[in-house]
Amino acid sequence: MKNNCIFCAIAAGEIPSFKVYEDELVVAYLDINPFSEGHTLVIPKVHSEGLLDTPDATLAEIIVRVKKVAAHLKAALPCDGFNILQNNGEAAGQTVRHVHFHIVPRTGGDALAFANRPGDREHLKALAARVRLA
Ligand code: AMP
Ligand code: ZN
């Protein structure tokens, strides 16, 4: 297996996947541990590990494919909306080190949730000043 990377092996057709879309740049296939019905991964065929080492031009092209596949899933499934997830690094829950975008179809009232709570305004103000791009 090239790079010892399971997603490169899927892109090369060396191991099977439940493919839903493919073109010269990307492959999209069902996640085998789905968050929801139709949970799909979109990957570039060329290996990179995450968002930061993927060329800008590639990312620009991938997001258009993500949109295309998401639109198709929304039309093909009982689907009221969808989340796009993209994990980077172990701390963020990335388990496969080949950049990938999750498309997670959602239906009204499903049990999936991202827990959040109100942030402290002063902290948010200081944080924004610290991390703001020039
Ligand atoms: P992440 O946690 O963002 O790295 O997501 C990796 C995802 O890849 C997980 O949701 C896994 O269920 C999924 N996955 C791992 N191996 C395969 C595979 N062979 N085919 C499809 N999905 C896979
Ligand atoms: Zn790879």
CATH number of the CATH domain containing 76: 3.30.428.10
Q: Which residues are catalytic?
A: 100
Domain count of the chain? 1
Q: Which residue from 4, 7, 35 is spatially nearest to 99, judged by alpha carbons? A: 7
Q: Which residue has the tokens 């402290």?
A: 120
Q: Which ligand is nearest to the CA of 91?
A: 1
Total-model pTM: 0.94
Residue type, 88: N
Task: Measure the CA–CA gap between 106 and 83, rounded to whole angstroms.
Answer: 7
- Whether ligand 1 lies within 6 angstroms of the CB of 17 is answered as yes
For ligand 2, a single-atom ion, the residues with CB < 5 A are 5, 7-8, 47, 98
Residue range 20-57, pLDDT digits in tens: 999 999 999 999 999 999 999 999 999 999 999 999 99
Q: Which domain holds residue 95?
A: 2-131
Q: What pLDDT was estimated at residue 2?
A: 67
The pLDDT score that the predictor gives to residue 16 is: 95
Which tens digit of pLDDT belongs to each residue from 9-18?
A: 999 999 999 9
Judge if the beta carbon of residue 91 lies within 6 A of ligand 1: no
Phi/psi of residue 111, each to 5°? -85, -5
